[in-house]
Amino acid sequence: MSEQQADSGLSWNERVIKEFRANNGRVGGMFEGAPMVLLTTMGRKTGKPHTNPAIYYKDGDRYLVFASNAGRDKNPDWYHNLLESPQVTLEIGTEEGAAKPFATRAEELKGEERDRYWELQCTLDPGFRDYESKTDRKIPVVALQPLDLGGDNERSRMIGQQLIKHHSDLRGELARLRTAIEQALGGDNTDARPAVELTEQLRARCLTYCYGLQMHHIREDGSFSAFEVRYPHLVPAITKLREQHHVVETALAEFEEVLDEGLSGDGGDLERLRGELDRVVAGLEAHFAYEEETLLPALEG
């Protein structure tokens, strides 16, 4: 199968993302030569990670992005998502030759500052002036400030505490999920709800778990880039942690495939689901432990 045929099942967004990642942040077509980033935000309704390409303007160490949505009358989803949860992972091309994720915090520019940077962007790229003319909407401008741990021990300690809390939440939810599957399999639930409703609920809970874990790893991958600068001795461990994220991601994708095929509510489906979940759990427990053991001593100073 040719590369082109393999890509034909992808959406426009997915094709741009794939091209971006394969070419150290460069994309052809309508984005040829434009300074591009990928933004990953957390879906405000689903918790699912959403990745979108965007043109940026670099202002000092922060990245400005413009919620133009190509001049449509609605703000793009990523803008609503970051208002709800301002931790945004930014992927950008690097001098090492491969695009890399960075943890950033989003803040919308207001008033005169917003207007000044919007005008500047329209001068640099007149396409934005066209977008503006198509809508009555005042197009938001958002600043993304990369995480910088340079000498800030308090920030590192806070990140360490967050890591422990997220792992504890993820472990707890995983245990509850397994219990729910066991109960559905054992048929010992005194619940009178029909099997279809039960499996639909189980499916929703499994998906929520997948999204939460994916989001946790995507955000960690971004934070790791700041850890590597602040704690160079951790680079080998972080390289290993990034690889483990990749392994978990593959296992999760297979788990989601089982869910996507639909659960009929008979024992066979649930057995398969339990098998796939066990695979995720096995890798995950070891990963959490290794991450805590290697990162926490540095973060806690």
What does the binding site for Fe ion look like in residue numbers (CB under 5 A)?
220, 291
Smallest distance, Fe ion to C-beta of residue 221, A: 8
Which alpha helices (H) appear in the chain, and where do they start and end?
Answer: 3-7, 12-22, 77-84, 111-124, 127-134, 153-186, 195-230, 235-260, 267-299
Pairing of strands 87-92, 62-66: unpaired
Contact between residue 81 and residue 41 where contact means Cβ atoms under 8 Å apart: yes
Residues, the chain: 301
| Residue 43 one-letter amino acid | G
Smallest distance, Fe ion to C-beta of residue 264, A: 34
When the beta carbons of 19 and 291 are compared against Fe ion, the nearer one is 291
Smallest distance, Fe ion to C-beta of residue 299, A: 12
When the beta carbons of 80 and 242 are compared against Fe ion, the nearer one is 242
When the beta carbons of 153 and 162 are compared against Fe ion, the nearer one is 162
When the beta carbons of 114 and 216 are compared against Fe ion, the nearer one is 216
Smallest distance, Fe ion to C-beta of residue 69, A: 33
When the beta carbons of 70 and 247 are compared against Fe ion, the nearer one is 247
Residue 188, exposed/middle/buried by CB under 10 A (0-12, 13-18, 19+)?
exposed
| Rounded distance between C-alpha atoms, residue 66 and residue 64, angstroms | 7
Token pair for 259: 């869910």
What count of other Cβ atoms lies within 10 Å of the Cβ of residue 260?
9
